[in-house]
Amino acid sequence: MSDSAPEAKLDNLQRFIDLVTGHLDDQPQLAQARAVADRSADRLRFPQQFTTIALAGTTGSGKSSMFNAFTTIDRSPAGILRPTTSEPYACVWGNLYLADELLDWLGVSPRRRFTRESPLDANDELSLRGMILLDLPDVDSVEPKHRVQVDRLLHLVDVVVWICDPQKYADQLVHEGYLRQLAAHRSGLIVALNQTDKLLPAHLPKVGADLRQLLDEGGLKGVPLVATSATKTVPEMPPSKRGPVKPKPGPFSMEKSPNGYVGVATLRALLEPIIQGQRAGADTVERDVTTALTEMSALVSGPATQPPAGPLIEALARNDIDAGIRNYAAAAAKGLPTPWADAILRAASARREELSSALDKAKDVARAGRPRRAWLPGGRKRADARQDALLHHEIDKVALRYIVEPVRRTLATYERARAAMSLTALWAGAPGGPRLAQTQSQDLSTDGT
C-alpha cells in the first residue's frame, strides 16, 4: 500500500460526499462521513511525527495518576474529590512549539501543555519522542460538558489507553458506549486495569480474566490488557505459617517498573513501536475513512437505468399527474438503495406546481396546430391522428423538461457516486494500520521489566 493511500481514500470519500450532497442529505451516515472527512483532512495536515495518545476512562480510575506516572512530573492534579480533571492536559515528548497547532486543534489550553524534555533525562525518554500524552476528563461525569469534551477528543486522537479500576471495570457504558466503537476506529487501543494494588494478589487473575472475557465478548480480542498501578504501591502477599507465599506468574503478575509503578513499563513497550512508526495519525485516518467508505458503500448498488417515458406521457395526457410522477420515479429507482428512491421522487416532483399550467399550454399548442381541412374524405381521421401526435409531442416536451431531465440528472449523480465507490472497492481488504494491528495483538499483559 502506498504512503498516499489515506490521502487517496480521503479524496474519494470527499468526492462521494460532494456528489450525494443535496440528494441524500437526510441520511445520518452522510453527516458522520462528512465529520470523518473534515477531521481526517485536519489530522493529515499536522506533523506526522506526533502520536496523540489519550488516557480515558471513568472518574477516579486513575487517569491523572497514570499521566503523572508517565510524565514523572505531577502536572495534572489527581484527587479524591470527583471529578478532578475538568479540562484535558497534554504532555509532549519533543518540541512543544512544533506541536502547538495540533494541540490547538485538540482544544488543549496553552496553560495545560507541558513538555517532557529535560537534559536530566539523557536518552531515557528518546523512545517516546513524538508522543503527546493527554489526560482527559471522565466519561461518566456528573458534568455533562466533560463528556462532550471527551467524546470530541476521542474522535480526534490516534491511540486510546482506557483506564479501568477494579470497581467499575464491567460498566456497560464503558464497554458498549466506548470500547467497542473505539476498537473499530482508532489505530491503537489498550486497556489498563488500574489500581491493582487494591486487589488481593489472589483476586487479580480472576478480575483480570473477567475483564478479558468482557473485552473478548465485545469483539476486542486483539486489544491488549495490562495490569497497572499508578501509585507506587505493590500489594504484599499475606503472611503464611509455611513462609512467604510467592505470587504465581501469569498474565496479570504484579511486577514493578524500575520507577516503582506496576505495568507502566508494559504500557511503554506497547506504545513505543506505535510512536516510533510515526504513522499513527495516518493509520487512524485510513481506518476512519475506510469505515466511512464502507458505510457509504451501502448507498450505492447496481447500475441505474432511465425508464421509458411512454407511461408517464400517457398519465400526463390523462391529467393523472401525481400517479404519473410516482410511477415514473418508482421505475427509475428500481434496484437502487432505498434513500435514492426518495431522492428520485423529490427530483421528479420538484416542479410539480408548474406542471398543470405547462400541460394546459401544451394542449393549447396542440389544439392550435390541428389541421383545418377535416371535411376532406378521411380528413377527420387524419386530423385526429395528427392532433394526437401533436399533443403527444407537446406533452413529451413538458415531461422531458419537468420530470425526465431532473430524474436523469439524479441518476447521473448516482452513477458518478457508484464509480467513486467502485474505485474504493479496489482497496478492499487493505484497511489501515496493519503494523499497528500486529502490535495490538501482542500479548504483553505481563510487565516487561
Tell me the closest approach of the beta carbon of residue 34 to Mg ion, in angstroms.
Answer: 32
| Percent of residues in the chain assigned helix, strand, coil, to nearest 5 | 55, 10, 40
Cβ proximity to ligand GTP, 153 vs 309, nearer residue:
153
Give the one residue of 40, 52, 149, 231 binding ligand GTP; rule: CB under 6 A.
Answer: 231
Cβ proximity to Mg ion, 51 vs 85, nearer residue:
85
Bridge partners of 135, per DSSP, are 55, 89
Tell me which stretch binds Mg ion (CB under 5 A): 21-29, 59-67, 108-116, 214-222: 59-67
Tell me which stretch binds ligand GTP (CB under 6 A): 9-17, 59-67, 116-124, 398-406: 59-67
**In 201-265, which ranges are E strands?**
225-227
Q: Does residue 266 bind ligand GTP (CB under 6 A)? A: no
Cβ proximity to ligand GTP, 233 vs 387, nearer residue:
233
Give the one residue of 14, 52, 68, 84 binding Mg ion; rule: CB under 5 A.
Answer: 84
Q: Does residue 59 bind ligand GTP (CB under 6 A)? A: yes
Give the one residue of 27, 52, 71, 85 binding Mg ion; rule: CB under 5 A.
Answer: 85
78, 231 Cβ separation under 8 angstroms: no
Q: Give the residue carrying C-alpha cell 506533523.
A: 47
3-state secondary structure 330-362: HHHCCCCCHHHHHHHHHHHHCCHHHHHHHHHHH
**Residue-wise over 305-344: b if at least 16 C-beta within 10 A, else e?**
eebebeebbebbbeeebeebbebbbebbbeebbebbeebb
Residue 256 grid cell: 514493578
Q: Does residue 61 bind ligand GTP (CB under 6 A)? A: yes
Tell me the closest approach of the beta carbon of residue 71 to Mg ion, in angstroms.
Answer: 13
Give the one residue of 79, 219, 303, 335 binding ligand GTP; rule: CB under 6 A.
Answer: 79
Residue 429 grid cell: 481488504
Contacts with ligand GTP in 127-186 (CB under 6 A)?
137-138
**Rg (Cα) of the chain, in Å, rounded?**
32
Query: SS3 for 302?
Result: coil
Cβ proximity to ligand GTP, 84 vs 266, nearer residue:
84
Cβ proximity to Mg ion, 59 vs 424, nearer residue:
59
Q: Give the residue carrying C-alpha cell 394542449.
A: 363
Q: Tell me, by CB under 6 A, how many residues bind ligand GTP.
A: 25
Tell me the closest approach of the beta carbon of residue 260 to Mg ion, in angstroms.
Answer: 20
Q: Give the residue carrying C-alpha cell 489550553.
A: 109
Which residue ranges make up the site for ligand GTP (CB under 6 A)? 57, 59-65, 78-80, 82-85, 137-138, 194-195, 197-198, 229-231, 233
